[in-house]
Amino acid sequence: MWSSTAAASPAEPGTARTRSPYIDTLRAAAIVRVFLQHTAPLGALTTLLPAMWVMFGLAGYLTAVSLRRGGAARTVRSRVRRLLPPLWMLAAVAVPLMLLHGWHPFVWTDLIPWVFPLVNPPGSEWGAAFVITLWYLRVYLWFVLLSPLLWWLFQRAPVATLLTPLATAVLLSTAVTLPGSRIGDVVWSTAAYGTAWVLGYARESGLLDRLTWPVCLAAAGSLGAAALLRAATDLDGLQDPLVPVLWGTAVVLVALRARPKLAWVTAVEPVRRAVALLNARAVTVYVWQLPMIALGTWLLGALAGPPLLTIAVGAVLTLGAVLCFGWVEDLAAKRPPSLVPAVPAAPGGAVARVPVPSRVPAA
């Protein structure tokens, strides 16, 4: 099974890595799942692909790659730089609109989380669609800031570092009650998604590869069974916050242990381009999809009932927002801004002008 120290990375530090169609496709699927959940909520979507846990697992993996190759300071600086400008662009639109529509009470300190979201950026009731999903950016920022410490701990005690966040989430859901505060939100979210993030470290280090499939499936099955048991016996049922934590961690464990080649993604040009474009504009898609869905629902009015129509209108409006604001991600990545990011050529084709970034979200 596992030793008490992390295994060596499959690739030596500083060596170039080829892109993984599997990682890119999994991240694109998670982004699409978030969009679909907001347009046509289906419980089965959350069960089949717990997108937030998958996104944090992938973010942990890609952060570990950067930590091994570039060091702590460079990794934190780069990821913070990539995360914040798309949020600032959203703020440049959302904050004036919320003020015009009567954001009360409003104080100037409310703008601080819109600049550096250590807590959830606040908003008005009218502007709820702008702020509801921004908790993800707050959680992601905290993980980025903590990543050097987590990486140091993981290299010395990988199993303990993996299990501590999950054990803390269980404790907070059973024996300990957190106060309803911003600090409580940070503590809970770090515990809820922490094991998924550190599982990304385990993939990068090669530790997950040393876990045999029977053991991996048994561990994931145990977590899934615990989630089902908790949902069946707890009075809150599926509203219990521990249920998605257990299930999401189980899915991420299997997803990150797998290493399928997915050669068909590279071979099918429309799919390859769609996956690459979603990855290149991940943060912009994430922060703008809910406001655009809300706008689409408002525009449709009484016609907003059929899910396919709502999805189609929301997708078109989200695409419009990406075209308008996606260039910010190019600037954040220190690339020349472009309306549509260049897509790398398929293997054997011409060299692409600009590589698509392999980072989450951030998502």
Give the tens place of pLDDT for each residue, 321-349: 999 999 999 999 999 999 988 887 776 54
Count up the domains in the chain and report the number: 1
- Cα–Cα dist 313/341, whole Å: 23
* Residue located via tokens 């290493």: 259
Q: What is the pLDDT of residues 163-200, one digit of tens each?
A: 999 999 999 998 888 887 888 999 999 999 999 999 99
- Cα–Cα dist 200/81, whole Å: 21
Amino acid identity at 195 = T
Q: Is the pLDDT of residue 320 over 60?
A: yes
Q: Is the pLDDT of residue 1 over 70?
A: no
Model pLDDT, residue 315:
97
Q: Is 146 part of any domain?
A: yes
- Cα–Cα dist 103/96, whole Å: 9
Q: Is the pLDDT of residue 304 over 90?
A: no
**Do the beta carbons of residue 46 and residue 244 sit within 8 Å?**
yes
How far is it between the farthest Cα atoms of the chain? 60
Q: Is 348 part of any domain?
A: no
Transcribe 294-334 into DSSP letters. HHHHHHHGGGG-SHHHHHHHHHHHHHHHHHHHTHHHHHHTT
- Cα–Cα dist 168/242, whole Å: 11
Tokens of 283: 């943060």
Query: Quick one: how far is CA 251 from the chain centroid?
Result: 14
Mean pLDDT for all residues in the chain: 88
Q: What is the pLDDT of residues 278-292, one digit of tens each?
A: 999 999 999 999 999
Q: What is the pLDDT of residues 72-83, one digit of tens each?
A: 999 999 999 999
- Cα–Cα dist 363/357, whole Å: 12
Q: Is the pLDDT of residue 12 over 70?
A: no
- Cα–Cα dist 146/120, whole Å: 17
- Strands, E, within the chain: which ranges? none
Domain span at residue 140 reads: 21-265
Q: Which residues contact 40 (CB under 8 A, 6 or more apart)?
A: 307, 310, 311
- Strands, E, within 202-305: which ranges? none
- 267-302: b or e for each residue (b if 16 or more CB lie within 10 Å)? eeeebbebbbbbbbbbbbbbbbbbbbbbbbbeeeee
Q: What is the pLDDT of residues 85-134, one digit of tens each?
A: 999 999 999 999 999 999 989 999 999 999 999 999 999 999 999 999 99
**DSSP annotation of 354:** S
Average pLDDT value for residue range 147-158: 97
Q: Is 7 part of any domain?
A: no
CA angle 83, 73, 118 (to 5 degrees): 40
Model pLDDT, residue 343:
80
**Do the beta carbons of residue 49 and residue 251 sit within 8 Å?**
yes
Q: Which is higher by pLDDT, 144 or 303?
A: 144
Q: Is the pLDDT of residue 311 over 50?
A: yes
* Residue located via tokens 């303990």: 160
Q: Is 37 part of any domain?
A: yes
Tokens of 303: 């016609």
Closest listed residue to residue 282, CA positions, set 193, 358, 340, 344: 358
Q: Is 330 part of any domain?
A: no
% residues pLDDT > 70 (the chain) = 89
Q: 280: part of which helix (H) or strand (E)?
A: helix 269-280
Other CB atoms within a 10 A radius of the CB of residue 356 amount to 22
User: Which whole-number Å values give the CA distances from 172 to 82, 96, 161, 219, in the listed order?
Assistant: 32, 38, 17, 21
Q: Rg of the chain over CA atoms, in angstroms?
A: 20
Closest listed residue to residue 124, CA positions, set 109, 104, 138: 104
Burial (CB < 10 A; 0-12, 13-18, 19+), residue 59, is buried
Q: Is 179 part of any domain?
A: yes
Q: Is 123 part of any domain?
A: yes
Res. 18 pLDDT band, cuts 50 70 90: low
Q: Is 142 part of any domain?
A: yes
Q: 137: part of which helix (H) or strand (E)?
A: helix 135-156
